[in-house]
Amino acid sequence: MKVLITGTNGLLGQHLAPLLLKKGYEVVATGKGEPRFALEAGAPIRYHSIDITDPMNVYHLMELEKPEVVVHAAAMTQVDDCEKDPEHCEQTNVQATTQLLVDAETFSRHFIYLSTDFVFDGERGNYGEEDELSPVNFYGFTKLQAEGVVQTSEIPWAIVRTSLVYGNVSHARRSNIIGWIRESLEKRQPIKVVSDQRRTPTFVEDLAQGIILIIEKKATGIYHIAGKDELSPYEMAIQTAELLQLDHSNIEKVDASSFSQPGKRPPRTSLLIGKARKELGYEPLSFREGLRKVLGKT
Ligand SMILES: NC(=O)c1ccc[n+]([C@@H]2O[C@H](COP(=O)([O-])OP(=O)(O)OC[C@H]3O[C@@H](n4cnc5c(N)ncnc54)[C@H](OP(=O)(O)O)[C@@H]3O)[C@@H](O)[C@H]2O)c1
């Protein structure tokens, strides 16, 4: 079965592509510019450089490849960048998703869209798939809009909402929370980490595995694919320091109010994963287990 991934140079794409290959899928990887992910030499994968905001190129690629499954992970993911350039964010996250979906309706059989816990306002946490959406920043708003478009699709669709994804990443433009904490601690750089935001941090390989379960089961609808523990970034930083046996006196516990960021952050957006467990057999690692893998402490 042929699976096309958008955003393969990103954190999720870099892990999903090799996992799909290992399971025997034919993988069409796409990303902006040159490929920036590590694969074993000779891996049977085709890479196409494509800007998803260019509808004609997207159409021609979909016509050429006719993938049975599309996993749409590419997005403008930086909350503050979306706030500063809402037009570009809307074009990337909503318009490009709409275009890709139209093409998938012609050439594909299953469309899987990556969304976020930031579609919720974060006032109470422990959100289920059917809870009310009320994003507090523009990034979350564009993901909500794209979710709405996906739900009108004429082909089977799945929406995967995830939360604060962590894992190792090569040659990516951005690091992720564990990479940033580790690097700062190793360089003995003081860091300020918030303790009044709570997430369900998601090990990237668990997320990739959840998506593969959706593909295998041809599952449709909305699924929360996240970690099973609710933590604050500060708690994550302390656990990282402990596992690495590094001094955590450089980690300063702060409130979100001590940062002046363009995009507001929702305080508590933990996701309930009971539906994915029951319907897909999804079972993520604990945060400590995932962290051990990322830090090579297994
Ligand atoms: N990471 C998280 O904590 C998190 C949490 C909740 C939801 N999600 C969602 O999960 C999905 C995957 O996240 P991720 O962590 O893998 O994000 P990521 O590392 O930021 O990767 C996103 C990828 O999209 C690509 N992209 C952006 N604009 C593009 C365009 N116009 N054309 C082609 N590619 C474009 C980026 O390319 P460049 O590398 O060239 O910039 C990047 O490789 C996203 O949809 C995100 O919204 C992520």
Find the CATH number of the domain harbouring 149: 3.40.50.720
Range of the domain at 41: 2-167+202-228+269-286
pLDDT of residue 39: 72
Residue type, 249: S
268-274 mean pLDDT: 98
Q: Has residue 17 got a pLDDT over 90?
A: yes
pLDDT of residue 36: 86
- pLDDT tens digits along 18-35: 999 999 999 999 999 988
Q: Has residue 175 got a pLDDT over 80?
A: no
Q: Is there an atom of ligand 1 within 6 Å of 219 CB?
A: no
DSSP 94: I
pTM: 0.97
Residue nearest to atom 7 of ligand 1 (CA): 116
Residue located via tokens 């960048």: 81
What are 223's two structure tokens?
């699924």
Name the pLDDT band for 260 (thresholds 50, 70, 90): confident
Whether the CB-CB separation of 226 and 200 falls below 8 Å is answered with yes
Name the pLDDT band for 285 (thresholds 50, 70, 90): very high
- Nearest Cα to Cα of residue 281 among 210, 223, 221, 200: 210
Helix axes 233-244, 287-294, angle to 10 degrees: 50
Q: How far is the CA of 73 from the centre of ligand 1 (A)?
A: 6
Q: Is there an atom of ligand 1 within 6 Å of 73 CB?
A: yes
Residue nearest to atom 40 of ligand 1 (CA): 32
> Measured between alpha carbons, how far is 137 from 163 in angstroms, rounded to an integer?
15
- pLDDT tens digits along 192-213: 999 999 999 999 999 999 999 9
Q: Has residue 174 got a pLDDT over 90?
A: no
Q: Has residue 173 got a pLDDT over 90?
A: no
Is residue 252 domain-resident?
no
Q: Is there an atom of ligand 1 within 6 Å of 222 CB?
A: no
Is residue 68 domain-resident?
yes
Task: Give the count of domains, the chain.
Answer: 1
pLDDT of residue 172: 60
pLDDT of residue 243: 93
Q: How far is the CA of 88 from the centre of ligand 1 (A)?
A: 14
Q: Is 36 exposed, middle or buried (0-12, 13-18, 19+ CB in 10 A)?
A: middle
Is residue 24 domain-resident?
yes
pLDDT of residue 227: 98
Is residue 58 domain-resident?
yes
Is residue 64 domain-resident?
yes
Name the pLDDT band for 37 (thresholds 50, 70, 90): confident
Q: Is there an atom of ligand 1 within 6 Å of 51 CB?
A: yes
DSSP 198: B
Q: Is there an atom of ligand 1 within 6 Å of 75 CB?
A: yes
Q: Which atom of ligand 1 is nearest to the CA of 13?
A: 16
Is residue 246 domain-resident?
no
Most confident of 32-46, 197-211, 243-257: 197-211
> Measured between alpha carbons, how far is 246 from 94 in angstroms, rounded to an integer?
42
Is residue 255 domain-resident?
no
Q: How far is the CA of 230 from the centre of ligand 1 (A)?
A: 23
Residue located via tokens 């159409």: 59
- Nearest Cα to Cα of residue 68 among 115, 116, 20: 20
| Pocket residue to mutate for ligand 1, from 14, 50, 77, most atoms within 8 A of Cβ | 77
Q: Is there an atom of ligand 1 within 6 Å of 201 CB?
A: no
34-38, 52-56, 78-82: range with lowest mean pLDDT: 34-38
251-274 mean pLDDT: 93
Is residue 224 domain-resident?
yes
Give how far Cα 179 sits from Cα of 116, 172, 210, 282, Å: 20, 11, 23, 25
Q: Tell me which of 231 and 297 has the higher pLDDT.
A: 231
